[in-house]
């Protein structure tokens, strides 16, 4: 067993505090990763605050993990000590159901083991995430990181990157297409970078006029402030694909109406309250409304390799773990450019100070 330091919340209302726990002893196929950086996903906020009503405590969030392999089990073949590695939103699954076999382990029919706020395959032992010093993961659920530098900016790819890459690939977004990205946050800004890299003409729909310059710097061709309804209505029927990353309730019909013939909108943001969709919003132009959940291991590795080859990473604000409360508050106010990433060295520094 490995004694591990982390930061946890004890309830939906409590503040983060230092928390010590044990990681399992290294199995034959396990790697021990010393966590260097962990991104702060809006899902961490939803779950820490029990927005979706399925939270268990104490909770150590974090599923955008990049670190260095410290030790490997006897039968590990993919990794060696010293390698950089990543861990995303899940750390195990049954491996035998048809979904796992197809590489959609995130939807495992038997038991998907999410990185935190879940249980191991025994369905009893709680999982703890990346706001911590180290993690033990089966090598089959560990991703290879080819980048050697700027690793903090790679961490958000493990969730924000794959969650936006997967639907863009599934709907074959390509050069010459008009793509909308709704919400310029952690997911949204990755969606912009990836869609631009695939050759699309990208429009950002944002509630924050101050983000226009950034959006253009990320490669977006157009920027629409969603607080002005008239600017949206004029775009009716002009988009091939729209990616909706908004974390709070909003009217989906507004964006569905922007889709042209056979256009598709994919929802990845997870507001607490259900959305109302008018049948007309879907019937006109034979529109498609779909959802998308992260991505499987194979596709996540494909996305990491794609980002490495296209020199794509996240725009980040690095914070010490002690600033996590502030990072949550700012993310909730859409005041993050564009992903907070925790420098996990701050964890050991804090512990040294406190003895």
Q: Least distance from C-beta 46 to ligand NAP, angstroms?
A: 5
**Considering CB under 6 A, how many residues would be counted as binding ligand NAP?**
30
In the chain, DSSP assigns E strands to 2-8, 17-23, 30-39, 65-72, 84-87, 90-92, 113-114, 134-138, 143-144, 178-182, 201-206, 222-225, 239-244, 259-267, 288-291, 316-320, 339-343
Residue 179 main-chain phi, psi, to 5 deg:
-120, 135
Check residue 334 for interaction with ligand NAP (CB under 6 A): yes
**From 39-47, 67-75, 78-86, 232-240, span contacting ligand NAP (CB under 6 A):** 39-47
293 binds, among ligand NAP, Zn ion, none (CB under 5 to 8 A by kind): ligand NAP
184 binds, among Zn ion, ligand NAP, none (CB under 5 to 8 A by kind): ligand NAP
Check residue 246 for interaction with ligand NAP (CB under 6 A): yes
Q: Least distance from C-beta 283 to ligand NAP, angstroms?
A: 25
Check residue 23 for interaction with ligand NAP (CB under 6 A): no
Check residue 46 for interaction with ligand NAP (CB under 6 A): yes
Out of 268, 313, 324, 344, which residue is the one contacting ligand NAP (CB under 6 A)? 268
- One character per residue 24-63, x = contact with Zn ion (rule: CB under 5 A): -----------------x-x--------------------
Burial class (CB in 10 A: 0-12, 13-18, 19+), 327: buried
CB under 8 Å to 151, separation ≥6 — which residues?
36, 37, 66, 84, 145
CB under 8 Å to 167, separation ≥6 — which residues?
243, 266, 268, 290, 292
Is the separation of the CB atoms in 191 and 181 below 8 Å?
Answer: yes
Out of 94, 270, 284, 349, which residue is the one contacting ligand NAP (CB under 6 A)? 270
Question: How far, in Å, CA of 134 to CA of 50, rounded?
Answer: 25
Residue nearest to Zn ion (CB): 41
- One character per residue 204-243, x = contact with ligand NAP (rule: CB under 6 A): --xxx--x--------------------------------
Question: How far, in Å, CA of 281 to CA of 68, rounded?
Answer: 48
CA–chain centroid gap for 269, Å, is: 10
CA angle 245, 253, 278 (to 5 degrees): 130
Q: Select 112 or 186, whichever has its Cβ closest to ligand NAP.
A: 186
Question: How far, in Å, CA of 31 to CA of 254, rounded?
Answer: 47
Q: Select 26 or 141, whichever has its Cβ closest to ligand NAP.
A: 141
282 binds, among ligand NAP, Zn ion, none (CB under 5 to 8 A by kind): none
Question: How far, in Å, CA of 47 to CA of 59, rounded?
Answer: 9
Contacting residues toward ligand NAP, per CB under 6 A: 41-43, 46, 159, 163, 183-188, 206-208, 211, 245-248, 250, 268-270, 292-294, 331, 334, 336
């Amino acid at each position: 067993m490995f004694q591990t330091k982390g930061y946890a919340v004890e309830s939906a209302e409590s503040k983060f505090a230092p928390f010590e726990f044990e990681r399992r002893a290294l199995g034959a196929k396990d790697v021990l990763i010393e966590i260097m950086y962990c991104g702060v996903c809006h899902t961490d906020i939803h779950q820490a605050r029990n927005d979706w009503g399925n939270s268990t405590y104490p909770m150590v969030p974090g599923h955008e993990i990049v670190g260095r392999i410290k030790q490997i089990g006897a039968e590990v073949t993919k990794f060696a000590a010293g390698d950089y590695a990543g861990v995303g939103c899940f750390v195990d699954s049954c491996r035998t159901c048809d979904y796992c076999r197809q590489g959609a382990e995130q939807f495992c029919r038997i038991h998907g083991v999410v990185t935190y706020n879940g249980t191991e395959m025994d369905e009893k032992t709680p999982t703890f995430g990346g706001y911590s010093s180290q993690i033990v993961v089966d090598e089959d659920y560990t991703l290879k990181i080819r980048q050697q530098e700027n690793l903090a900016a790679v961490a958000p790819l493990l969730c924000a990157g794959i969650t936006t890459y997967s639907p863009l690939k599934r709907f074959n977004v390509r050069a010459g297409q008009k793509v909308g990205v709704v919400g310029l946050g952690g997911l949204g800004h990755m969606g912009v970078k990836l869609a631009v890299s695939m050759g699309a003409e990208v429009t950002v729909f944002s509630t924050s006029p101050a983000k226009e310059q950034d959006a253009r710097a990320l490669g977006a061709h157009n920027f629409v402030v969603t607080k002005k309804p008239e600017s949206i209505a004029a775009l009716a029927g002009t988009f091939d694909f729209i990616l909706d990353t908004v974390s709070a309730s909003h009217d989906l019909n507004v964006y569905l109406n922007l889709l042209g013939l056979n256009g598709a909108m994919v929802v990845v943001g997870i507001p607490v309250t259900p959305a109302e969709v008018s049948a007309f919003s879907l019937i006109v132009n034979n529109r498609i409304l779909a959802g998308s959940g992260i991505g499987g291991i194979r596709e996540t590795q494909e996305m990491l390799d794609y980002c490495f080859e296209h020199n794509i990473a996240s725009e980040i604000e690095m914070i010490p773990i002690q600033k996590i409360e502030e990072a949550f508050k700012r993310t909730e106010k859409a005041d993050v450019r564009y992903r907070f990433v925790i420098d996990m060295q701050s964890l050991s520094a804090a512990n040294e100070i406190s003895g």
